[in-house]
Chains A and B, each alone.
Chain A
Amino acid sequence: MSTTVVNTGTEGKTWGGANQPLKASYGKMMMWFFIVSDALTFSGFLAAYGFSRFKFIDSWPIADEVFTHVPFLHGQELPMIYVAFMTFVLIMSSVTMVLAVDAGHHLNKAKVTLYMFLTIIGGLIFVGSQAWEWATFIKGDYGAVQTKGGNILQFVDTDGHRVALRDFVTAGPKARTEHERKSGLWFVSEGTLPTYTVEEVVAGLESHDNVLVRTQIINEHGEKTVLSRGESLKVLKDNGKLVVEGANLQVNEYGSPLFADFFFFITGFHGFHVFSGVVINIIIFFNVVLGTYERRKSYEMVEKVGLYWHFVDLVWVFVFTFFYLV
């Protein structure tokens, strides 16, 4: 069949096929492009956070007043310390991951196993820390009053230190109990009722001369504005609407509810990535232990999940900056 072209005459030339211009395997390259798309998703979230922050630039919560807690150290104001620890744990687990990849290049099964194990432990410590951070954030600390316009009024003493609602408000007898499904309409439920009513907070403020109201507005020194005694009482009586303790998707005692929404969404999405990274690491760990890659004479799978794991670390570096530092 002399008319059939069996030979293109381009063998060995650039477009003749079997050429690998990027010198990377298919799987590794696809992991890279997945990471690009995931990076764009995360930057979409962070840019949306930036949008909302620029929109409320003069009233956004100050992060190091929000995240001041460290486990086992109750009542101490240690801004940033715990998040710095979490960042270090994640970077450290990135290091053990890259050491596992390196050991894989030397086909050293024992070392890959050890380093993969340490990486998984690091990931679990991080996810656990994040869960604790969420719990602390949801539970809240000082409590605040939300105004009719949705702004948050916090309480400080004359030295500017925060005062918790429990320190100056006395809870009176409850006018109503929390509605539960079993005690009325079965298809209607409501969240936990606040410990205090706005009237009780007003009464508490009236009886404590040293307590002042602090608004969300950031003054020229970069601090939240503290109102005078007269203004404090006026603004609380005129505008106070709801007692807020802790944070959820609707209300947030630390300031703008958007802050809590973005916190839950972005750190949640990142935490989900860490969690799935841990799961994938565990799968690969067992493959290593079973000797799959030993028989394959290539530990490239470790390298691929390594890329994903480092990406999770990379995202956290940005989340850390934009949520906790800037």
Chain B
Amino acid sequence: MAHAHKLEILRGLIKFKSNTQKIWGVLILLTIVTAVEVGLGIVKPEWSMIKVLGMKLLNWIFIILTVVKAYYITWDFMHMRDETKGLRRAVVWTSIFLILYLIFILLQEGGYVFNVYSDGFVKRDF
């Protein structure tokens, strides 16, 4: 197991000859993604300001790119790609389920408190 690395990323689109080569390939990928994020963050293009599902499109792009980065760090740097299905699912699915649940509850509640502040009787702008 320790020596049997799966050497392809992006569903086999890019295949590497050795594990070392794959590491550098993933570094390039992560660097490009980070550069795109920072570039978008500085430029803030007009088209990305539209609201999608209650949040700016730009923010959704950031979150998706972050998940992409997290995927490659976990799968290739932490070798999740080479672990058994059982271990992978025990770690990844548990975390993802609990985190999404927590985020949903807290953001929902935060939005509700915001509405109470703005439409209700609580005044805080003084």
Contacts and interface: CB of A to CB of B under 8 A. Distances in A.
A126 to B, nearest CB: 14
B38 A80 contact: yes
A147 B124 CA distance: 10
B52 interface: no
Contacts of A148: 126
A151 B125 contact: yes
Contacts of A47: 99, 102-103, 106-107
A166 B115 CA distance: 38
Contact of B107 (A36, A51, A92, A101): A51
| Size bin of chain B's contact surface | 35 or more
Contacts of B49: 222
B34 A24 contact: no
Chain A contact residues: over half helix, strand or loop, or mixed?
A: helix
A7 interface: no
A79 B42 contact: yes
B1 A54 contact: no
B1 A23 contact: yes
Contact of A33 (B59, B91, B98, B106): B91
A286 interface: no
A162 interface: no
B87 interface: yes
Given A102-B20, A317-B69, A326-B59, A39 B41 contact: no
Contact of B110 (A33, A51, A320): A51
B62 to A, nearest CB: 5
B3 A313 contact: no
B126 A50 contact: no
A91 B34 contact: yes
B8 to A, nearest CB: 17
B109 A51 contact: yes
A3 B1 CA distance: 42
A44 interface: yes
Contacts of B103: 43, 47, 50
A43 B102 contact: yes
A44 B101 CA distance: 11
Given A318-B66, A321-B65, 6 more contacts: A47-B103, A54-B107, A95-B27, A98-B76, A148-B126, A306-B78
15 contacts: A24-B84, A24-B87, A47-B99, A47-B106, A84-B34, A84-B35, A95-B23, A95-B24, A147-B126, A149-B125, A151-B124, A239-B126, A310-B78, A314-B70, A321-B65
